[in-house]
Chains A and B, each alone.
Chain A
Amino acid sequence: MFIVDYIKTVYNSVTSLLKGMRMTGYYFFNHKEIITQQYPDVKQELPERFRGEVVMLHDEKNEHRCTGCTACELACPNATIKIVTKQELQPDGKKKKALDTFVYHLELCTMCNLCIVACPTDAIKMAQTFEHSVFDRNQLTKKLNAPGSKLMEGVE
């Protein structure tokens, strides 16, 4: 019947609206679980696999594992990495190619992780840092190997 349908429509719509209001009202009066992250004050624990930037690992003796093989440079799809090598004199008198500077252009990097996969000696890895903004673009070009660092013993 028409009147019954009319009243039913009104009743159903009002109850569904009240259901919604109950939900939001519950949230309003039970203000405990908050989804806002108060970023600069409370920093979120980032997941292990988060890719922020490429860093080179150094141990406490200021030694890294990079042999200067340029596998990462070749793997990089957009020329983010530039490896400068030098000839280093070995104790036995032979010369050997070694890493001079690991130049990393953060401004070009897409965090694709291909360099880390390509590295045969696990010298580089992705860090969890993400606050990269600087006023000068040149500051984004980084040298990854620490000054005075040298190749770790036994890494070929």
Chain B
Amino acid sequence: MISLEHISQSIHETLSASLNATLVLLIEMAIAGVLVISLFAVLGLVLVFMERKVSAYMQIRLGPNRVGYKGFAQTAADTLKLLIKEGLTPDGADKFLFNLAPLLVIIVAMLIMAPIAFTKGFQLWDINIGVLYVSAVSSVGVIGILMAGWASNNKYSLLGAMRSGAQIVSYELSAGLSVLTIVILVGSLSINDIIASQQNGWWIFKGHIPVLISFVIFVIAVTAETNRAPFDLAEAESELTAGFHTEYSGMRFALFFLAEYVNIFIVCAIGATLFFGGWMPFHIGSWEAFNHVMDFIPGIVWFFAKVFALIFLIMWFRWTFPRLRIDQLLNLEWKYLLPIAMFNLLLTTVMAITGFYIK
């Protein structure tokens, strides 16, 4: 059966046969870069369209349905519009930081893409501290947001950026703690080890109550980390016009927009990897026949199905829940999520030591 692993390996072998190792590495890096950038572009188009359609369906509307077949070309048309728009830099802004901020945000989003395993053996960078790397790099994104807010020389932007800083710093804790529960159960930080440990069932089933709790905490925390409603205080249209990207226009605005959606994809990919087995098909214990049937569906399909299911969940949150105030937001984190996450971590540790989970 043809698989992405075979394709990538055969490309590597063909290149190695004729070129020296450094050149092969460079070419492979270039291919990977092109793939990541095209994935970004496609994700931006697909997710924005999906968001608009989902929101429309939830609000008993139709959503975009004019451009292209059933409106599928709507986001492409929007992107084209943003490309030809003027990228304005305000006079009072710090020009260098103002122009750097969107690039920083998008580069951070690209960096987190590195350790994500799309299917068996199809991964940019297999590091043994994949989970740690992701949680470390994802916090760098807030610097881009703070930079954008501060360089704009606009009180709304600054307020939005400061809120975003407070929010991400707070929610990083419970996101980290909920990720740790899986790390404790697996005993490894490597993304590949985590996926391999779910060979006989996903952690959400194997780890029952503690993992379920940590999954709920993880979803809440990453919704906050990606600055999405009901935690979109960094943007808060009704209060701060557009928060940190008030002053941005044209392609720089589009980069922030793209980064938001790519970040959603990435956190959902991490969530799918940790709790739903990444590309691992749906396996039940030792039911050989059933597992074999499930293996016929390729890993990449499983991966994207899980990721998009999680993205749908997060979109569902956005179009249902009212926005929190900043004090309520921090209350939720420090008074509810963090204590529950810590208690849950203790519970998981006890469970891992006593072996009270489905092996």
Any B CB within 8 A of the CB of A90: no
**Partner among B56, B60, B320 whose Cβ is within 8 Å of the Cβ of A21:** B320
The minimal Cβ–Cβ distance linking A135 to chain B, given in whole angstroms, is: 23
User: Interface-forming stretch among A23-31, A78-86, A91-99, A139-147?
Assistant: A23-31
Contacts of A38 in B (CB 8 A): 62
The minimal Cβ–Cβ distance linking B219 to chain A, given in whole angstroms, is: 12
Q: Tell me, in angstroms, the Cα distance from A25 to B317 when the chains sit together.
A: 10
Any B CB within 8 A of the CB of A156: no
Any B CB within 8 A of the CB of A35: yes
**Partner among A10, A21, A34, A35 whose Cβ is within 8 Å of the Cβ of B316:** A21
**Partner among A10, A17, A21, A31 whose Cβ is within 8 Å of the Cβ of B57:** A31
The minimal Cβ–Cβ distance linking B220 to chain A, given in whole angstroms, is: 10
- The answer to whether A27 touches B59, judged by C-beta atoms less than 8 angstroms apart, is yes
Q: In the complex, what residue of chain B is closest to A22 when comparing beta carbons?
A: B320
Any A CB within 8 A of the CB of B336: yes
Contacts of A36 in B (CB 8 A): 56, 60-62
Any A CB within 8 A of the CB of B58: yes
- The answer to whether B316 touches A17, judged by C-beta atoms less than 8 angstroms apart, is no
Contacts of A20 in B (CB 8 A): 320-321
Q: How many residues of A contact B (CB 8 A)?
A: 15
Any A CB within 8 A of the CB of B54: yes
- The answer to whether A17 touches B321, judged by C-beta atoms less than 8 angstroms apart, is yes
Q: Tell me, in angstroms, the Cα distance from A26 to B338 when the chains sit together.
A: 32
Contacts of B62 in A (CB 8 A): 34, 36, 38
Any A CB within 8 A of the CB of B319: yes
**Partner among A10, A17, A28 whose Cβ is within 8 Å of the Cβ of B58:** A28
- The answer to whether B61 touches A24, judged by C-beta atoms less than 8 angstroms apart, is no
The minimal Cβ–Cβ distance linking A34 to chain B, given in whole angstroms, is: 6
- The answer to whether B58 touches A35, judged by C-beta atoms less than 8 angstroms apart, is no
Any B CB within 8 A of the CB of A59: no
Q: Tell me, in angstroms, the Cα distance from A27 to B62 when the chains sit together.
A: 12
In the complex, per-residue mask of B32-63: 1 if CB is within 8 Å of any chain A CB, else 0: 00000000000000000000001011111110
Contacts of A31 in B (CB 8 A): 57, 60
Contacts of B58 in A (CB 8 A): 24-25, 27-28
Contacts of B320 in A (CB 8 A): 17, 20-21, 23-24
Question: 9 A-B pairs, CB-CB below 8 angstroms?
Answer: A10-B336, A20-B321, A21-B320, A23-B320, A24-B316, A27-B58, A27-B59, A34-B61, A38-B62
Q: Which 3 A-B pairs have the closest CB atoms?
A: A24-B58, A36-B62, A24-B320
Binding site for B on A (CB under 8 A): 10, 17, 20-21, 23-25, 27-28, 31, 33-36, 38
